[in-house]
Structure 1
């Protein structure tokens, strides 16, 4: 969703405040149009997390929902599916109800066998087997522009590298990337100025994914290929073939996860490094710090924010929640929580006890985290080996977008050849 099309605050759709929500907990925070976003998505979320901000706040925007503002709550909610269900994980609610991908919208124990099916192709041992291929893709891209002395990092690397890697793992043609990227953006940053409009945008994009994967599933049923989709399609659930609707949801989720998250993470990370040459120098001087620093990067630049559905009335961190309420979980606010991390906006390669929810927690911990970690490590190693010193072009103004997955574009980098 382009920030130019976001309605001004006075024109945004506001939902009525429910009776059980105290007035002192209400804050006007729009998850798709954060105040101060021109300075950066993480900077804008950090503005929400002030010392006097309650652990749970209520916003009337995007259909009306709670927002968890501290790491302790985000961590506990993710780990507690019996109290905080995944049946609606998007805001606004209309978008969450239109979302049909599995197993992200399932709770244990129904969720468990589907998660095992995904893990079969994305576990650490499997990912290590393709490290050479992943590294070759990164090297080819970087060497394609290293001698020019400039690139648009988002356009020339981040939007290509993880997508090319993932489509190769799924045995899909790179020429399908543009279509799939457009669908992914409407899933994670659905357009529209009312909950109903955003719900319709997401429903249309979800249907687009299903339409794309249906013939692929059919073609690979009974196949013996080692690609991710063939493995998924021929997995059994509780001893029986996977139901058709769940297959559509599972394969679509694989594509959505592979096409929008690492893409944007890499771009946020590289903007920071371009502005902090001292951190880059530290990585070059001590390669071990570079390797250890990958987790610090994930802490600092979390891009996903999803929601959970309150199963029953309860008191949580001193706040009354009602069954059916939605709690939004900006994972950035766990990594940036200054009650858990000293000077959290700084990338500290020597930081100990790094805690974050960038990959979520509990049963829905990201299945693609091993691939993501490797892609980030490879990017840093191969980039710094060829372009050790770089900066943002003078006058550069990256364009930031908030949503279920935060995004950024327009990242002109320059360096001496």
Structure 2
């Protein structure tokens, strides 16, 4: 890929064990060509002659996995690829202190069970009525206007309002938490040290926010997510305070950023492909089953793993402490894994992706995310069956641990009919 200009850092020196032909100039926070799309920018790296592992001097210097099978294998093997550092640059990953995402098995297991207690499929089904009521209220609030700015009027409210209610937190706190999440997943700074400082400040901001909430709910009998988790036990004893801070902070981080951005990518595509909208509208069963294909087509996460010990892997020598970025877009959009991968096929069989990760750290919130996607599609298409991107608009894409997109103006009614007629 061509050098991004201006680059965020001057670049780390190439380690001796990295072959010169594996060096590619890729900045995960400033992808070349991202103005044309986040997924398009990552996919440009995945050429037939691109090795399965490449190394970039950007963001402190790290490897990048470029093949779906390699991404999934690294996610699935914590004995070789540790979660000790999962955020890049290293200076940021070392400051990241949320639980249990930085833990490896067997330490990870008991904390993951606590997350699953509140986020398993049976528990999520209990909140479907609330999820649906939030979606309906938002959509009906602007349906008659013939337009909306999707990220402002829906995506940044719907999943956040659902999650804040599940945690029994006031919605007025959401903007503050969203800003903290922004600095965790797309930290500000022009150097790895500055980005590390931004992430550390955000991490500490989460801890400061949840500290009094934890104290207030300790020993409580409520059924909200925070109360359930705060009062859970590890090996029949209360959790250590630092672990409680990390667990509740992770809960909020996971619920306040990922689905927000995923929904925006999904709706941009549907706004540009009315034939796909019609396919979903005409078959309610296909619509419900389409969620997995949506997640395959629009992955937003690019986190990392740390090499646990020296090894030979994928034709190169890896050293303990090396970091490997796992852009999930390069699995879901890989032709070898999903033929005709750019096409959104609601009836696709044998879907392969790493959008929720894999292995012991597979996303605990995936059941809630699926429900939110299905409910959004169902309730939106009931009320706004035909829609498109506002003429002349151009979404703005941002890369990071979680990709983001802004400026998604949608139009419907007479404006949408004129738009489709002109195509």
**TM-score, scaled to structure 2:** 0.96
Instruction: Give the structure 1 partner of residue 420 of structure 2.
Output: none
Counterpart Cα distance in 2 of 1:345 and 1:94: 35
* Deviation sequence 1:55-112 (CA, Å, 0-9, x none): 0000000000000001000100011000000000011000000000010000000000
Instruction: Give the structure 2 partner of residue 26 of structure 1.
Output: 23
Confirm whether residue 375 of structure 1 aligns to residue 372 of structure 2.
yes
> Among 55, 75, 95, which residue is 1:58 paired with?
55
Give how far 1:350 is off. Answer: 1.8
* Deviation sequence 1:89-148 (CA, Å, 0-9, x none): 011000000000010000000000000011111000000011001000000000000000
Instruction: Give the structure 1 partner of residue 116 of structure 2.
Output: 119
Give how far 1:338 is off. Answer: 1.0
Q: Structure 1: which 5+ residue stretches go unaligned? A: 1-6
Instruction: Give the structure 2 partner of residue 337 of structure 1.
Output: 334
Give runs of aligned pairs for residues 169-248 of structure 1, distance below 5 A.
169-248=166-245
Confirm whether residue 37 of structure 1 aligns to residue 29 of structure 2.
no
SS at match of 1:62: helix
Give runs of aligned pairs for residues 300-339 of structure 1, distance below 5 A.
300-339=297-336
Give how far 1:166 is off. Answer: 0.3
Say if 1:272 and 1:11 are closer, same or farther in 2 by CA, change over 3 A. Answer: closer
Counterpart Cα distance in 1 of 2:267 and 2:214: 36
Give how far 1:285 is off. Answer: 1.0
* Deviation sequence 1:175-234 (CA, Å, 0-9, x none): 000000000000000011110000000000000000000000000000000000001100
SS at match of 2:367: helix
Instruction: Give the structure 1 partner of residue 394 of structure 2.
Output: 397
SS at match of 1:91: coil
Maintained 8 Å contact 1:98/1:203: yes
Counterpart Cα distance in 2 of 1:396 and 1:325: 41
Instruction: Give the structure 2 partner of residue 298 of structure 1.
Output: 295
Say if 1:10 and 1:139 are closer, same or farther in 2 by CA, change over 3 A. Answer: closer
> Among 135, 138, 142, which residue is 1:138 paired with?
135
Counterpart Cα distance in 2 of 1:212 and 1:32: 27
* Deviation sequence 1:18-53 (CA, Å, 0-9, x none): 000011111000000000000111110001111111
Instruction: Give the structure 2 partner of residue 46 of structure 1.
Output: 43
Instruction: Give the structure 2 partner of residue 362 of structure 1.
Output: 359
Counterpart Cα distance in 2 of 1:11 and 1:131: 43
Count of aligned positions: 412
Counterpart Cα distance in 2 of 1:319 and 1:77: 15
Maintained 8 Å contact 2:8/2:191: no
SS at match of 1:108: coil
> Among 278, 282, 287, which residue is 1:281 paired with?
278
Counterpart Cα distance in 2 of 1:236 and 1:211: 22
SS at match of 1:408: strand
**Alpha carbon RMSD of aligned pairs, Å?**
1.1
Counterpart Cα distance in 1 of 2:142 and 2:247: 36
Maintained 8 Å contact 2:307/2:322: yes
Say if 1:174 and 1:11 are closer, same or farther in 2 by CA, change over 3 A. Answer: closer
Give how far 1:12 is off. Answer: 3.1
Give how far 1:314 is off. Answer: 0.7
Instruction: Give the structure 2 partner of residue 79 of structure 1.
Output: 76
